[in-house]
Chains A and B, each alone.
Chain A
């Protein structure tokens, strides 16, 4: 196995880092986050420069690279700003499964607009928490179409996505992934949910009121393959976000402790803090390696894909939570103040850890896979 990135990968990493350093202004980020606004201009720029859709084949507007390269970009973006980075990373959440399972027509119509910065897409997967009214979204099948009725919760960018892939049961135990347009008749995004972090993104419950979906908008087949692939891919993306944010938190904390003086010296001189840095560094490196391994497994469609992606997500997200909490701690009182954006890194990372799939579900999956 190779531990070094290829020259192409290094170039991409460098380009992403330079873009983020130059464009992700901390004051702008704070403003966008405070106002709950999607970083539209930065997203469009990232698309024009080829960062978004880096893993789409050229004929769909991409760079014909892979998830691995997308991970490198996400890491660099999230390192500079957790909110902007995560927002850009999650803006094409459905593209991975469209790439893997989509028909030619579906790929053309859905991927090209995203690569051009003209559209964002998302996935509606989570069912309502309390099984209340409306009920979890289900699809009724007829010879010519599917009809979706019910509710999905926590849909990332639900109110602004042009296209949504909706996972629903068509009959007990059998799921379908249906491509729905955001402005289609019967699709309604409820009021934005107030989340702990990732405030730049809108997270909405969605209600589907007899939404008609033509058969050619079925993504893949009936069954769980599409969902399984989606989850594997999202775990990798979430881990990449987590590693990026962790590194950003570490870097910022080193900077702060080199400047902050107490007891007659810069506080980075205190070994107690140095031990904390040692812990952070070790864990971030371990998480990064695991994420890269998982990204490779996805591209190679390895047989251990589920386990390794679960492990990567669990580990990287936990490392990110611990790292950002410690980053706040090492900043002292300043770490608690919103204007310094350190506490935001923690809130964003905690949201990433739990929004799409939880560490607990992933642990349960790994454990069960040994039975």
Chain B
């Protein structure tokens, strides 16, 4: 016989489980739930069933055998700890329904994840309050923790996914396809192994400038900040290998609108430093020869070339510095100098890293994708390459690079054949262009999925 107190405690827990179980069931039926989201929900169903069984066991044990209060409460506590984690994981799926991202983007960005992390990579996409992109790797941060916590109660089958990312797009920009190249930076945070990066860059207390700090607090802070900043720059460099020059365009476009160029935080270096390292690596990767004056010739399209040319003097090394921000100036300056000195090593690591991931973007692909710009000028979504015979699908990176090249040239020509109400103000015209890019991504994703499914079946 259970005491009234124990009965109340068990019922309270069972009611929570029932509520979550009902939410999971409702989400599974929701028309906007995607295949990867459903995989998470099914895992949550299995995990919750294991918890419900566990609570059933505790009830039986307490009812039919001697169970001390402490033992009873400990059993409930263990279940509660797992339950918290299940709800957090469920919320990642719920956000894809309550704050959805444009459906046109889902498949194309999913294909990017699979391109980087292989077929075991998956993506949940939602919009997020604020101006920042967010990323959580659910497999390591959530699913493994749940599996471990559930292991005493029995084995639960995890989703068949190795890297499961939940990505939040800034809400005000949620449908801006060109800006979303920035997502590649977030993937970059999960591509680099921080320990190797730190070792390779010699971010150690006995190495300059960290050995020069007067006290150990400054040294610890300096090393921590250097680590954070190096990770951000490394993520930028990885993003360049995912989306090519389109990433740099998006980074400049977005960051320059929202952040002062020389203002660092403890977690993010000044934008000017980031662009300095990024442009250097990009120029190196996209050099295709020399002209008769010995100057480097780049593969960039004309409008990107003008755009980067305009920014290069702004980010050159002699203009690097720090101003404002929440980092003590002495430390910020020392860390900045340390990373400028180590920039060649960072670039070398980025080149090496790019070869370890498959299907990354390179100058040959970029050169081919520039041919797609002509499609856009003729109101044709650049879903496929222009070539004789069987058409070949473009990639998400290809669409974004061609679209950036066209966009940077101005949209006057694009507005030429559009009804006047769509071209009357710049914002409306830019929205129409964005819708065109989204449509292209949608058609490209649909065709890729269709052909892959037909091949499989």
Report if A and B associate in a common complex.
Answer: no
Which residues of A are interface residues toward B (Cβ below 8 A)?
A: none
